[in-house]
Structure 1
Amino acid sequence: MPKTPHGAGEQPGQPPDGPADTRSGADESASMRAGGRAVAERKKKYLVAPRPLPAAAGFLTPAALMPSMAAPLSLSSVQQALQGLGDIDIVDTVGGRAGVATASFGAGAALGGPAFGGQDGGVLVARMTDQKARELHQRGQGRLIVERDQHLQLLDPMLRRPDLVSSLTPYTGPAVDVVVAVLGKDGAPLADAEVSLFGGLLPSTAVTGPDGSARLRLYGEDTHTISGLYVKPRADYWSFYQRDPDLSADQANLVTLRALADWPALRDLPRQNALGWGARAMRLDQVPQPFRGQGIRIAVIDSGVATSHGNLNRIRSGFDVINKAADPNTWNTDTLGHGSHCAGVIGAADPSWGIRGFAPDAEIHVCKLFPGGQISQLIDALEYCIENQIDVVNLSLGGSAPSEALERQIVRAKQAGVACIAAAGNSGGPVQYPASSPHVLAVAAIGKADEFPPDSYHTETLGQDIDMQGFFTARFSCAGPQVDVCAPGVAIVSSVPPNNFAAWDGTSMAAPHVTGLAALVLAHRPEFQGVLRARSAERVERLFQVLRLSARPVTLGDPAHVGYGMPDALVALGLSMLPGQQVGQWQLPATAAAMASSLMAGDANGIRYPGGFAGLQGASMQSVSGMPGFACGLGLGGMHPSGW
């Protein structure tokens, strides 16, 4: 069946996500009498792909679905079967175009071995109801991946969806109105700043208008019960936070923000080129000038990149995955600013203006996935990376649970020599997927106490493990044995649209530091120009090993929060050594040696299992060349307001 655009496949008169379930004649008659139609479940997008399993696993042949099952399932046979079942609309096929085989997850399959059941990794995207999906999964008898095409997230909503039906808003009683006026440099009103008040009940949020003022109302409160005032500018200024603010309900409350350019380390930004504190902490300032990432291709899978920015106007290549049916060339529009911020950390390029990135001479490709991205579209973006021979991918995105279909694509990318570096997550809980995958490098976030104003909201990220140098674990950063390394992710100044700068927090900001360093390692470390020049999974694994073992201990936190530590650019490039290392020999840093057992806990083969995956029993539980067996997992969650 030919491909149709995302969102296509509906017939006239149907709701956007597909037709409703069939109702009884009585329901239909009642609906007609009422002048409408009965509400029913809409169709949602599901991912469907063959999943052949070893015969020893005891899975039955799904003859009810596929009459001729002597041969392994192919994607085309699955597609034909779906078309014959009825009430399922196939809207797209993603992955599998680049001719890279997907390795088996079972016993006896090497990483570069035979394809996953003879398949090339293609995945069908089909619209169906949840009931139809359950029926399909049952008919598949374990031979099919059937999972929701979950939405990916960059940001957490300020107001979360409630867990139950209740109300925290009083019907009557006191309410307080507060006007906050936000001023910028020289006392000028600052528009478009987000102002939030926090009290005992629901928070109140507003955005400043052209006069710099915002009016907020809190119900059931008075000015003495307000516990916090938070002001977040759109760009060029530091945020502001005041605990237990002394506010007036009778006159405007003035907040004057500090300009980024007034901070000593960013003096005169952007008129002269500056290096962020994170890059300096990783010793990028001591790397020789010729080391600029020449010849390496980096993909930023994110919200697009604003090439209107002076630091990003050298970026020439990209793919709008969300809008691919209408115009795939709109990747250079970034309505969220998140992708532009990440791209700036990686490769901002201007010798005399703005912020300098890690690899300014690398070739950056942009895959626009947000707002609205789903797993199927991330699979499509990774296929673009395979086809275009991308070396390193930055994934500042994620969620709470794995996807088997996405995991297969990550494996295919790794086999093609594509190294995926992912943000660990900002929920403060367990490492989120895909950072929890054993085939990516997971990056947690740290901060440094003297790198932001004490009255900024960045102060709220301080953990309790500050070391002698001021490094601390960011309170929002996810933790767990899957964390490989940590990197600066608090008060990171980088580029935002249209041609401005902003200081943001998040593991989203930490991952690009490591992505940029990975590009330098591939471009300038001699072994990657010799025996490991060829694109392969072994090349990816060695890159990850170099980054882990270049890390130095930071913070007083446990390894679950920082992994091996913060990568050191000079050590990773082979220009210096860590204490305890010998020339020509890699040795574990002290903290890394101490944490080795906990990193690999629960897996005698030394393989990290992502949270939510379960190894198959028996022979398929064995791992060969780093490939464990997986079971299916569903669901993706949200992100931190300042960007993940």
Structure 2
Amino acid sequence: MPGQPGAPDGGGQEAPPPPDGEAARGMRARADEAPGRRVGERKKQFLVAPQQAPGLAAIGPFGMPSPALQPPSLQAVEKALNDHPDIDVVRTVGTAGMGPLGIGAAAGGGTLVARMTDDKARALQQQTQGQLVIERDQHLLLHEVMPRQPAMVNSLAVRASATLAFRMVVLGKDGTPLPDAEVALFGGLLPAGGMTDARGEVTVTLYGDSPHMVSGVYVKPRADYWSFYQRDPDLGTDEANVIGLRPLSDWPQLPDFPKRSAIGWGQRAMRLDQLPPNFRGQGVKIAVIDSGADNRHPDLKRIQNGVDIIGKNPDSWNQDVLGHGSHCSGVIGGADPTFGIHGFAPEAEIHVCKLFPGGQVSQLIEALDYCIEQQIDVVNLSLGGVSPSPALEQRIVRAKQAGIACIAATGNSGGPVQYPAASPNVLAVAAIGKFDEFPRDSYHVETLSTDVDASGYFTAKFSCFGPEVDVCAPGVAIVSSVPPANFAAWDGTSMAAPHVTGLAALMLAHHPALQAQGGMRSAQRVDALFDLIRRSGRRVTQSGALRTGAGMPDAPTAFGLGLPGQQAMQAPLGSMAGAMAANAMFDPAINAAYLGMGAPRAPAFMAPLGFGYGGTRVGW
């Protein structure tokens, strides 16, 4: 057969035999003599920290309990690493005087950041017998929904093939060209896409021999317009293909937006508009650990505190090149009463911890140290990693002990809940949508699942699920602020988590039970807050707790407003008796679902307007 010694190679000649061991060594020797840099394994960044004693950390290395043996001090570990010729100590995070920008970090153990090879890290782990946490300093991801995931390795190697050039023109209101709009074509042999120029034009070249190979066209505007998606589009190669986008202000729920302020559909769904008008989050500190927040935006002008964890520049935390942190901050604290979207807690004190682009676990640890130092009450984490981090978990536990409530997005891979949302010490938020809250030709349609209830609520296809999910919140077609003074409708559990963060801030500021004992910061207060949020959950969609947890938090229910047993929210919540007393004011069916005992399902959704299932196009 081809490729074997003596066998034809398809061209009438015999294929050469593979090199034996001596020949292979000779080939490597010749390569070593060639000029240039040899490709080999590089040193990677690792986190090294003394393992905390049992009871202080939720998990130890590789999920094992911490050993009873007293771990070495951080100073001893640093000296040993510095003495090793193959290990480079980069910096220390989490010890006094070593916090971000030189601010003294929280009391407690620190973490070393060091560079070494994988083999050296494994050897070090074995030598220390579990006394040290040694893990890769993982790069974190912002939980943003992507229209497609790039293939890891494509087996195609296209050398010669027919190509199709599609001239795409994207126009806005009154035929205005829209620059910087992302255009992607699905189908063909390889992915294809591009960005529109100042004329709103882009030429997208696709490998293939027929326009019928294109299975979809997606357009994502930079801001102020709804996205566009057309399955099986009718495209031509001999003339321009024109796509007109709808302004956000054309949507009936956003008349004359943003000149006329509006309450987002997520805030309405959680009934923020039914709380007393003086519930505005006064006196509560919120941290948004994200890509920064542009406080030039009219909705974000009240934000005056921040730190750039990556650049270590005290003046760059408000430079948000991604827009993600600005979007999350707008949902939480949008504050202009006459412009844009109303945030949940417009008078809360928001601190911005800039971690993206480029954030790693070590920098997230620094950001949590900043939160401990600044006595932050609630942290929004619309980010995630690849796998659990024992070093990060220790810092999350320390933050909780300092009274900080961490609220995290579950992730957008459509698989198991990602970390840190998977931590038992945070509140994990999944995403839901509502099918009548976005245009029917927008990409938001692609987030629809078959799990839709009678009110149109559905679990978003992208939302991660599992037993770690605590609650769900609106995370599809969420309109919020983006730099410099614009708005965009985005999808993601990143957008769901800020809804719950904003509600948590209001509860810490105004809920009598959480104001007891002067609002003392403690892990017990965090548990009481999370318990109240879960118990306010309202059943949405027809899925179970693995996808929606205790349901969508309801703001009036969380405060006991207008409900029988309203006085129950005055009960102390640090005990089982207090939790049972607070539980008395909620619907038994919802409580049964929260406690895992099951609850009656909502009536089957009858597919109004020709809604299709099973991957078919929505029949609108």
TM range (shorter): 0.7 to 0.9
Q: Could you report, residue by residue, the CA deviation over 1:54-107 in whole angstroms, capped at 9, with x for unpaired residues?
A: 7xxxxxxxxxxxxxx99641111111111222221111111244999xxxxxxx
Give 1:250's aligned residue: 238
Letter in 2 for 1:294: Q
Tell me the distance in 2 between the aligned counterparts of 1:52 and 1:254. Answer: 61
Give 2:506's aligned residue: 520
Report deviation, 1:558.
1.5
1:407 aligns with one of 383, 389, 393: 393
1:280 aligns with one of 268, 271, 276: 268
- Structure 1 gap ranges (5+): 1-25, 55-68, 101-118, 600-644
Tell me the distance in 2 between the aligned counterparts of 1:28 and 1:328. Answer: 50
Contact 1:28/1:37 (<8 A) preserved = no
Q: Could you report, residue by residue, the CA deviation over 1:286-324 in whole angstroms, capped at 9, with x for unpaired residues?
A: 111110000000000000001111101111000100011
Report deviation, 1:160.
5.0
- The answer to whether structure 1 residue 44 and structure 2 residue 44 are counterparts is yes
Matches within 5 A, 1:322-401: 322-324=310-312, 327-401=313-387
Give 1:146's aligned residue: 134
Letter in 1 for 2:486: N
- The answer to whether structure 1 residue 91 and structure 2 residue 90 are counterparts is yes
Contact 2:409/2:497 (<8 A) preserved = yes
Report deviation, 1:597.
3.8
Contact 2:71/2:132 (<8 A) preserved = no
Report deviation, 1:582.
7.3
Give 1:511's aligned residue: 497
Q: Could you report, residue by residue, the CA deviation over 1:247-294 in whole angstroms, capped at 9, with x for unpaired residues?
A: 111100111110001111111111111110000010011111110000
Report deviation, 1:399.
2.6
Report deviation, 1:435.
0.3
Per the alignment, in what secondary structure is the counterpart of residue 214 of structure 2? coil
Matches within 5 A, 1:153-302: 153-154=141-142, 155=144, 162-164=151-153, 166-167=155-156, 170-302=158-290
Letter in 2 for 1:166: S
Q: Check 1:528–1:99 CA distance in 2 against 1; reply closer, same or farther (3 A cut).
A: farther
Q: Could you report, residue by residue, the CA deviation over 1:125-175 in whole angstroms, capped at 9, with x for unpaired residues?
A: 1111212111211111111111000000115777756444622x5322322
Tell me the distance in 2 between the aligned counterparts of 1:580 and 1:483. Answer: 27
Tell me the distance in 1 between the aligned counterparts of 2:518 and 2:414. Answer: 37
Give 1:497's aligned residue: 483
Task: Give TM-score, length-normalised by structure 2.
Answer: 0.83
Contact 1:121/1:412 (<8 A) preserved = no
Q: Check 1:546–1:236 CA distance in 2 against 1; reply closer, same or farther (3 A cut).
A: same
Letter in 2 for 1:86: P
Report deviation, 1:122.
0.9
- Structure 2 gap ranges (5+): 1-25, 55-67, 100-106, 570-580, 599-620
Matches within 5 A, 1:473-488: 473-488=459-474
Give 2:73's aligned residue: 74
Q: Could you report, residue by residue, the CA deviation over 1:447-490 in whole angstroms, capped at 9, with x for unpaired residues?
A: 01111111111111111121111111111101111000000000
Report deviation, 1:400.
3.4
Report deviation, 1:218.
1.0
Tell me the distance in 2 between the aligned counterparts of 1:257 and 1:341. Answer: 21
Tell me the distance in 1 between the aligned counterparts of 2:77 and 2:503. Answer: 42
Q: Check 1:542–1:181 CA distance in 2 against 1; reply closer, same or farther (3 A cut).
A: same
Per the alignment, in what secondary structure is the counterpart of residue 500 of structure 2? helix
Q: Check 1:220–1:581 CA distance in 2 against 1; reply closer, same or farther (3 A cut).
A: farther
Tell me the distance in 2 between the aligned counterparts of 1:428 and 1:219. Answer: 29
Per the alignment, in what secondary structure is the counterpart of residue 481 of structure 2? strand
Q: Check 1:52–1:213 CA distance in 2 against 1; reply closer, same or farther (3 A cut).
A: closer
Report deviation, 1:371.
0.3
Per the alignment, in what secondary structure is the counterpart of residue 35 of structure 1? coil
Per the alignment, in what secondary structure is the counterpart of residue 227 of structure 1? strand
Give 1:534's aligned residue: 520
- The answer to whether structure 1 residue 571 and structure 2 residue 557 are counterparts is yes
Contact 1:44/1:128 (<8 A) preserved = yes
Contact 2:92/2:98 (<8 A) preserved = no
Contact 1:31/1:37 (<8 A) preserved = no
Contact 2:286/2:377 (<8 A) preserved = yes
Give 1:559's aligned residue: 545
- The answer to whether structure 1 residue 472 and structure 2 residue 458 are counterparts is yes
Q: Check 1:71–1:188 CA distance in 2 against 1; reply closer, same or farther (3 A cut).
A: closer
Q: Check 1:345–1:578 CA distance in 2 against 1; reply closer, same or farther (3 A cut).
A: farther
Q: Could you report, residue by residue, the CA deviation over 1:352-391 in whole angstroms, capped at 9, with x for unpaired residues?
A: 1111100000000000000000000000000000000000
- Give the CA RMSD over aligned residues: 2.6
Report deviation, 1:510.
0.3
Tell me the distance in 1 between the aligned counterparts of 2:148 and 2:314. Answer: 33
Tell me the distance in 1 between the aligned counterparts of 2:435 and 2:271. Answer: 18
Report deviation, 1:593.
1.5
Q: Could you report, residue by residue, the CA deviation over 1:319-347 in whole angstroms, capped at 9, with x for unpaired residues?
A: 100011xx233100000000000000000
Q: Check 1:53–1:296 CA distance in 2 against 1; reply closer, same or farther (3 A cut).
A: closer
Tell me the distance in 2 between the aligned counterparts of 1:389 and 1:36. Answer: 52
Letter in 2 for 1:389: Q
Q: Which has the larger radius of gyration?
A: 2
Q: Check 1:36–1:400 CA distance in 2 against 1; reply closer, same or farther (3 A cut).
A: closer
Q: Check 1:500–1:578 CA distance in 2 against 1; reply closer, same or farther (3 A cut).
A: farther
Tell me the distance in 2 between the aligned counterparts of 1:374 and 1:312. Answer: 26
Q: Check 1:287–1:577 CA distance in 2 against 1; reply closer, same or farther (3 A cut).
A: same
Give 2:583's aligned residue: 586
Give 1:123's aligned residue: 111
Contact 1:473/1:555 (<8 A) preserved = yes
Tell me the distance in 2 between the aligned counterparts of 1:45 and 1:353. Answer: 45
Contact 1:443/1:484 (<8 A) preserved = yes
Deviates more, 1:582-591 or 1:435-444: 582-591
Tell me the distance in 1 between the aligned counterparts of 2:489 and 2:354. Answer: 22
Tell me the distance in 1 between the aligned counterparts of 2:435 and 2:69. Answer: 64
Report deviation, 1:560.
0.7
Tell me the distance in 2 between the aligned counterparts of 1:273 and 1:37. Answer: 58
Per the alignment, in what secondary structure is the counterpart of residue 476 of structure 1? coil
Tell me the distance in 2 between the aligned counterparts of 1:513 and 1:445. Answer: 10
Seq. identity, %: 61
Task: Give TM-score, length-normalised by structure 1.
Answer: 0.80
Per the alignment, in what secondary structure is the counterpart of residue 420 of structure 2? coil
Contact 1:28/1:38 (<8 A) preserved = no
Letter in 1 for 2:240: A
Deviates more, 1:469-478 or 1:527-536: 527-536
Letter in 2 for 1:454: R
Tell me the distance in 1 between the aligned counterparts of 2:440 and 2:146. Answer: 26
Contact 1:49/1:405 (<8 A) preserved = yes
Contact 2:560/2:566 (<8 A) preserved = no
1:304 aligns with one of 276, 292, 301: 292
Tell me the distance in 2 between the aligned counterparts of 1:520 and 1:292. Answer: 6
Tell me the distance in 2 between the aligned counterparts of 1:574 and 1:70. Answer: 49
Tell me the distance in 1 between the aligned counterparts of 2:267 and 2:373. Answer: 31
Per the alignment, in what secondary structure is the counterpart of residue 496 of structure 2? helix
Report deviation, 1:573.
2.2
Tell me the distance in 2 between the aligned counterparts of 1:159 and 1:457. Answer: 12
Q: Could you report, residue by residue, the CA deviation over 1:508-556 in whole angstroms, capped at 9, with x for unpaired residues?
A: 0000000000000000001222236111000000000010001111111
Deviates more, 1:581-590 or 1:407-416: 581-590
